[in-house]
């Protein structure tokens, strides 16, 4: 008898009265028990967050929200949620799904609307942002943002999340 995790096992033989008697596990069965234990992985509960970038949010990114939607659809703009990669659903608008376990702790907030507030990032080239009708007068170099200390909270990056400023397609050097 072996538990599904391989942590508990017992070997029994029936005596003359057909009652099970515990015996030492034979050598021939030890490998099977070890293999069951080795192949048991810890169970995780996966939580997927599904949300969308509505018109008012998109209007906060660009003067023409539909252009942002098209840019996401055309893969000119990368969408992340708290740094986690997302799956963007097909169809109109920007509806996405993200694995909550890849997001920073306490990434979600709420407002009295009532509404859940999730972090969402749009990353694209500066020229593409200008072409979308982005608010260019609000653009700042990343170095000035990193240098700003006031009002900042440091959150550890997940090493398995892609860095949003790198291309998802690696180019070979010649």
Q: Is 94 inside any structural domain?
A: yes
- How distant is the alpha carbon of residue 23 from its chain centre? 48
Query: Higher confidence at residue 152 or residue 33?
Result: 33
Q: Is 111 inside any structural domain?
A: yes
- Answer whether residue 45 shows pLDDT above 70: yes
Query: How many C-beta neighbours within 10 Å does residue 48 have?
Result: 10
The pair of three-digit structure tokens given for residue 120, joined into one six-digit string:
């969402």
Residues 120 and 143 in one domain: yes
Residues 8 and 78 in one domain: no
The pair of three-digit structure tokens given for residue 76, joined into one six-digit string:
């000119």
Task: State the pLDDT at residue 55.
Answer: 81
Q: Is 99 inside any structural domain?
A: yes
Looking at every residue in the chain, the average pLDDT score rounds to 87
Q: Is 61 inside any structural domain?
A: yes
Query: Higher confidence at residue 169 or residue 94?
Result: 94
Residues 86 and 69 in one domain: yes
- Tell me if 82 sits within 8 A of 119, measured CB to CB: yes
Domain count for the chain: 2
**Which tens digit of pLDDT belongs to each residue from 118-171?**
999 999 999 999 999 999 999 999 888 888 888 777 777 788 887 765 655 444
Q: Is 155 inside any structural domain?
A: no
Task: State the pLDDT at residue 147.
Answer: 85
Residues of the domain holding 84:
48-147
Query: Higher confidence at residue 23 or residue 162?
Result: 23
Residues 19 and 103 in one domain: no
Residues 120 and 73 in one domain: yes
**Which tens digit of pLDDT belongs to each residue from 46-64?**
889 999 888 888 999 999 9
Residues 35 and 60 in one domain: no
105-126 core/surface letters (b: 16 or more CB in 10 A; e: else): eebeeeeeeeeeebbbebebee
């Amino acid at each position: 008898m072996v538990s599904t995790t391989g942590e508990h096992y017992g070997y029994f033989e029936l005596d003359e009265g057909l009652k099970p008697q515990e015996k030492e596990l034979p050598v021939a069965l030890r490998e099977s028990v070890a293999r069951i234990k080795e192949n048991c992985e810890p169970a995780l509960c996966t939580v997927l967050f599904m949300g969308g970038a509505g018109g008012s949010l998109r209007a906060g990114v660009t003067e023409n929200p539909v252009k942002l939607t098209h840019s996401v659809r055309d893969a000119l703009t990368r969408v992340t949620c708290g740094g986690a990669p997302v799956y963007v659903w097909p169809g109109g608008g920007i509806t996405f799904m993200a694995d909550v376990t890849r997001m920073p702790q306490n990434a979600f907030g709420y407002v009295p609307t009532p509404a859940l507030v999730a972090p969402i990032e749009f990353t694209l080239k500066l020229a593409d942002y200008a072409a979308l009708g982005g608010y260019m007068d609000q653009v700042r170099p990343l170095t000035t943002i990193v240098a700003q200390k006031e009002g900042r909270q440091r959150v550890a990056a997940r090493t398995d999340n892609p860095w949003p400023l790198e291309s998802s397609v690696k180019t070979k050097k010649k």
